[in-house]
Amino acid sequence: MGLPKVLSRALGALGVLRGCAASPKAACHTEECVSFSASSSASSSALLQVAQAPSFKANSDGFDLCVVRDNKCIDLHMDATWDDGVTSNPAPELNWTDAQLVVARYDEDLRWLDALPQVPTVIYNRGDEQSRLLPKARENLRILHQRNRGREDQVFLQHIHKNYDHLAQATVFLQGWPFGHCPGFLRAVRRALTAVLTPQMAGPVTAGYIEGLAPVTSTFWHYDIEGGLIGLALQMAERNVPPEHRPRAAAEVKDAFAEICQEILRKPCPRQQWVAEGAQWAVSRDRIHSTPRHLYAKAMSLGEGWAGKIRGLVLEAIWPVLFGADHWEPTQVDYLPELRARANNRARSNDDYCELATGAVSGTGAAWRHLIYSCSQRVEYCERQRHAGSGDSQSFEVERQQYEIDDAMGFLPWSLAAQLRLVLFGSSRWWPRNSPQARQSLPSAIADRGYSPLVVELNGRRIPVGKGSVE
């Protein structure tokens, strides 16, 4: 499972900034952590540092949490009643052998778990052990603190392998912020869990629910693995090399994808496969057991692979196969081939699965299915909106008191911690964000607004660099 040749060379010469916790206690386990200090002329507007203690108010019916949706900071109501949007089922009484939520976390806001007190939950926490973003303590909640190694696929494999003989009847595998793939997550996860445990009570079948298996997302991609249309893996391969090398890089990442897939499955990789975006599944114990324990161990032994992500992208595609559903595909969807990007096709649920409940978001009475981010990871953005008078989150008014906001005039020093990850080959040189060289390389409208990105000089050609990637 070696690196693709073009890609391995591409990963050999150029550093791209990637976010790393700015706390002095932060640890970079896989790459060197580098600190950068701003000059006195740089703006320090709305630089935020985390302080202490959660402050949102909750009751038995739920609470509001600040989120960012369509570039606006708003309040999302976290309904703590057992409302799945389609049935009138009462809240179940679940113990550890009935069901478990398994959550992979680094620094995400997990307070949404306070809206699911009915479900036993295991959090694999790779971030701050004292974070104010963790849920409230309760009897059916366990937090396992670990070093920050691997992505969510490592967490899911580890949980299955370690607990193979003692799995709950139903397990729901989740990312730390599941709303990014399913804005109406709270209703959807209750519905998916019910479908696995008691399908006769789950209401209409949706999103490709089958016996013992239910995705917790509303977006699906059809991969043509044999033809090399493998979604994000292909996009990453093409993005990280010059145009003249993209066909070769695409061929090599296709071969690597198929090789890892076959290594995991111990059989030929499917020629085509429907993929549930985000790898969030509710799955029965019997389905997990359809794959022998040693194959999960084998998958773990392969490591994360190229870009620290390739194994996770392969697993995202083949979880249904590992769970005994070789020909799984979504249902109740609209097909969107015009939006297929680097896949063979794309589909999205055409019912209300993963939609927000009416009135769940401040400022609207309609159901929404748009990307939602946590304000905890967009604090500076929300603070800027607040100063501009365009924010609409009451909970952020309370949340912001938990942060220290640096002086906007630039009188105080500030620094940025970042990680370097190699993504390009060839000679390169970095220019500071506000240097004359960087500004000369960008449109004046961008530079004048003060949002000019870093610029890299690659073989004599200056390239503006956005958030962690070369455009």
The string of pLDDT tens digits covering residues 100-142 is 999 999 999 999 999 999 999 999 999 999 999 999 999 999 9
| Secondary structure string (H, E, C) spanning 47-100 | CEEECCCCCCCCECCEEEEEEEECCEEEEEEEECCCCCCCCCCCCCCCCCCCEE
Q: Give the pLDDT mean for 302-330.
A: 93
Q: Per-residue pLDDT tens for 358-400?
A: 655 554 444 445 788 999 888 888 888 888 888 889 999 888 8
Cβ within 8 Å of residue 141, ≥6 positions away? 113, 120, 121, 123, 135
173 confidence band (pLDDT: 50, 70, 90): very high
Higher pLDDT pick, 299 / 409: 299
Report the distance separating Cα 102 and Cα 353, nearest Å: 21
- What pLDDT does 7 receive? 46
Higher pLDDT pick, 408 / 338: 338
Residue 296 to residues 157, 293, 301, Cα–Cα distance (Å): 6, 5, 9
Residue 402 to residues 58, 109, 429, Cα–Cα distance (Å): 17, 14, 39
Q: Give the pLDDT mean for 319-345.
A: 95
Higher pLDDT pick, 19 / 338: 338
Higher pLDDT pick, 451 / 161: 161
Q: What is the mean pLDDT of the chain?
A: 78
This prediction has a pTM of 0.76
- For 271, left (φ over 0), alpha (ψ -120 to 50), or beta? alpha
- What pLDDT does 262 receive? 96
449 confidence band (pLDDT: 50, 70, 90): very low
- What pLDDT does 21 receive? 31
Kindly tell me if the per-residue pLDDT of 409 is higher than 80: no
Q: Per-residue pLDDT tens for 24-80?
A: 333 333 332 222 223 222 222 333 333 333 344 445 689 999 999 888 899 999 999
- What pLDDT does 431 receive? 45
- % of residues, the chain, pLDDT over 70: 70
Stretch (H or E) spanning 246? helix 246-265
- What pLDDT does 199 receive? 95
Q: Are 438 and 454 in contact (CB under 8 A)?
A: yes
Report the distance separating Cα 310 and Cα 455, nearest Å: 27
